[in-house]
């Protein structure tokens, strides 16, 4: 059968909308499904057409853990040798004490709540998404571990790729313009840290919220750049 594509690149599609037929490759397996040689969208999103490859970038969604993802989690429960972490996914994640402390734990002598207590925020990496879907985290490596200061911004995880941008261009723009350290986690949480002043922190947060809202409209990077400059002028941040 001859391959044909019925949608334009970046066209807004809805579940059940036909995308194409024939021999095509699916680039996003969870948002496109095929039946009888026809391809349909499974979500509300933007069609992503590249030659014979077809996919749908979802506009609405939730985080589903993948091995190697950087995530920001909140401790929800303290056990005897592990913590339970909320990573905004359908399943909670587990962080083992031996991983966090980098040494064996003596449960008779020390309590885990001395290190991390309920409500504490950690930056971690997804180590394993097990067969039984027990998700484990690791904090080994530079930049991981407990977060002691900064602002945490939560957005829809489907919009995280827009905050990073093509080859990290959007994130680079945000960091250069604000001089803040920004950690973008795949699960929709963003940590804004070490800002030179309160104003630049606020501008970054406003810019992130704007990205979330306007993620599907083309020309995002330029608009965000203009927005940050305007906001900086309004706050008189160019004088000093």
Partner 1 sequence: MGKVGMKLIESGLRHDGRKLDELRPISMSVGVLKNANGSALVEYGRTKVIAAVYGPREPQTRYMLLPNRAVIRCRYHMASFSTHDRKSPTLSRREIELSKVVREALEPVVLSELYPRTSIDIFIEVINADGGTRTASVTAASLALADAGIPMKDLVAGVAVGKVDGFLVLDVDELEDMYGEADMPVAMAPSLRQITLLQLNGVLTPDEFTQAFELAKKGIEAIYSVERETLKKKYLDVKVED
Residue ranges that bind partner 1, judged by CB under 8 A: 12, 14-18, 30-31, 33, 35, 40, 42-44, 58-62, 64, 90-92, 132-133, 158, 210, 213-214, 216-217, 223
Nearest distance from C-beta of residue 19 to partner 1, angstroms: 11
Q: Which is nearer to partner 1, 45 or 150 (CB)?
A: 45
Alpha helices for 102-192 (secondary structure H): 160-164, 169-178
User: CB of 128: closest distance to partner 1 in angstroms?
Assistant: 15
The encoded tokens of residue 167 equal 């080859």
d(CA 122, CA 140): 12
CA distance 188 to 27: 22
15 vs 168, beta carbon nearer partner 1: 15
Q: Which is nearer to partner 1, 49 or 105 (CB)?
A: 49
CB of 61 to partner 1, least distance (A): 4
Measured between alpha carbons, how far is 61 from 190 in angstroms, rounded to an integer?
17
- Residue 192 forms beta bridges with which residues? 151, 182
Q: What is the closest distance, in whole angstroms, from the C-beta atom of residue 221 to partner 1 in the complex?
A: 13
Shortest CB 111 distance to partner 1, Å: 26
Return d(Cα 95, Cα 26) in angstroms, integer: 34
Q: Choose between 16 and 104: whose C-beta lies nearer to partner 1.
A: 16
Closest distance to partner 1 from the beta carbon of 235 (Å): 17
- CA 150 to chain CA centroid, nearest Å: 18
What distance in Å separates the CA atoms of residue 175 and residue 189, rounded to the nearest whole number?
Answer: 16
Plot region of 172 (φ>0 → left; ψ -120 to 50 → alpha; else → beta): alpha
Nearest to 60 by CA among 15, 10, 7: 15
Residue 60 vs 110, nearer CB to partner 1: 60
For residues 34 and 151, which CB has a smaller minimum distance to partner 1 in the complex? 34
> Which C-beta is closer to partner 1: that of 63 or that of 100?
63
Q: Which residues pair with 231 in a beta bridge?
A: none
* Residue 226 beta carbon to partner 1: minimum distance, rounded to whole angstroms: 8
Distance CA 16, CA 5 (A): 15
Scanning the structure block, which residue is given the tokens 């490596």?
141
């Amino acid at each position: 059968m001859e391959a044909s594509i019925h949608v334009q690149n970046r066209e807004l599609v809805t579940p059940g909308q036909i995308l194409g037929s024939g021999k095509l490759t699916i680039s996003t397996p969870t948002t496109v499904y095929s039946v009888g040689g026809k391809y349909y969208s499974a979500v509300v999103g933007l069609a992503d057409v590249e030659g014979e490859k077809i996919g749908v970038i979802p506009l609405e969604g939730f985080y589903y853990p993948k091995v190697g993802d950087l995530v920001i989690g909140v401790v929800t429960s303290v056990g005897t040798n592990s913590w339970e972490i909320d990573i905004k996914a359908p399943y909670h994640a587990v962080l083992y004490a031996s991983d966090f402390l980098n040494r064996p734990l003596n449960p008779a002598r020390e309590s885990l709540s001395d290190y991390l207590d309920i409500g504490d925020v950690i930056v971690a990496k997804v180590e394993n998404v097990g067969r039984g879907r027990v998700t484990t985290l690791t904090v080994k490596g530079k930049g991981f571990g407990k977060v002691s200061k900064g602002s945490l911004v939560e957005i829809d995880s489907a919009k995280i790729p827009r905050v990073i941008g093509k080859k990290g261009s959007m994130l680079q723009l945000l960091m250069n313009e604000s001089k803040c350290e920004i950690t973008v986690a795949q699960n929709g949480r963003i940590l804004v840290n070490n800002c030179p002043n309160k104003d630049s922190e606020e501008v970054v947060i406003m810019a992130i919220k704007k990205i979330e809202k306007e993620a599907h409209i083309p020309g995002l990077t330029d608009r965000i750049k203009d927005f940050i400059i305007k906001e900086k002028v309004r706050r008189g941040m160019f004088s000093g």
